[in-house]
């Protein structure tokens, strides 16, 4: 059984919530730590953000195993106490398998002013061809459903000669002229 440990993410975000700087918030999870089990699958977290309702959204990748050619964008939603939000996805978890990609992941995210979630990452069509990758952007509603008003049914992509590596993103405010 594989597990994901998110305590490092929560330590960073914790300072913004209620714990004193440098300490874990014992009201979150068990002594400030949360472990989420993923039986028979691998899962990796890459980024986290607070939503307007003070729930924590986490993005990454999940699939059957790291050497299989099937993985999708992972979204997890935690309540302020560290339990998974049962009103989000399936028991707080959601995996998006994006066609035509056999392997896709969410590397970075930003919460937009309207509360929607923009996830950036990459998708690979053929895991045996490292040059077969695209930059992908997915826009989600706060409940984890795709925002169909963005791109093509919530997705936008751009092909590059090699898969782009995304590590962070920031939304730049629009200037009005």
**Contact criterion met (CB below 8 Å) for 66 and 44:** no
Residue 172 covered by a domain: no
Q: What confidence tens digit (pLDDT) does each residue in 133-154 have?
A: 888 999 999 888 999 999 998 8
Residue 119 covered by a domain: yes
**Could you give phi then psi for residue 8, rounded to 5 degrees?**
-65, -35
Q: How far apart are CA 107 and CA 98, in angstroms?
A: 15
Residue 12 covered by a domain: yes
At residue 40, the pLDDT reads 64
Residue 170 covered by a domain: no
Question: Number of structural domains, the chain?
Answer: 1
Average pLDDT for 51-61: 92
Residue-range definition of the domain harbouring residue 114: 2-159
Query: pLDDT-based confidence at 59, cuts 50/70/90?
Result: very high
- Mean pLDDT across the chain: 81
- What number of other Cβ atoms are within 10 A of residue 13's Cβ? 16
The encoded tokens of residue 51 equal 């939503």
Lowest mean pLDDT among 14-18, 134-138, 165-169: 14-18
Q: What confidence tens digit (pLDDT) does each residue in 28-47 have?
A: 899 989 988 876 677 889 99
Confidence (pTM): 0.79
Residue 170 has pLDDT above 80, yes or no: yes
Residue 47 covered by a domain: yes
17 vs 168, residue with greater confidence: 168
Q: CA–CA distance from 122 to each of 39, 46, 138 (Å)?
A: 25, 13, 10
Residue 176 covered by a domain: no
Residue 64 has pLDDT above 80, yes or no: no
Residue 79 has pLDDT above 70, yes or no: yes
């Amino acid at each position: 059984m594989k597990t994901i440990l998110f305590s490092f993410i929560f330590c960073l975000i914790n300072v913004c919530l209620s714990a004193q700087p440098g300490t874990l918030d014992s009201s979150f999870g068990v002594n400030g730590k949360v472990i989420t089990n993923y039986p028979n699958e691998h899962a990796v977290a890459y980024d986290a953000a607070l939503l307007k309702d003070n729930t924590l959204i986490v993005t990454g990748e999940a699939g059957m195993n790291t050497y299989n050619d099937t993985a999708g964008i992972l979204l997890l939603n935690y309540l302020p106490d560290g339990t998974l939000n049962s009103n989000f996805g399936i028991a707080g978890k959601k995996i998006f398998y994006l066609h035509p990609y056999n392997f896709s992941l969410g590397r970075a995210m930003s919460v937009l002013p309207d509360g929607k979630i923009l996830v950036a990452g990459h998708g690979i069509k053929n895991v045996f061809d490292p040059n077969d990758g695209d930059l992908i952007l997915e826009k989600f509603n706060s409940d984890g459903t795709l925002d169909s008003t963005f791109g093509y049914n919530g997705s936008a992509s751009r092909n590059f000669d090699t898969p782009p590596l995304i590590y962070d993103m920031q939304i730049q405010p629009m200037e009005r002229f």
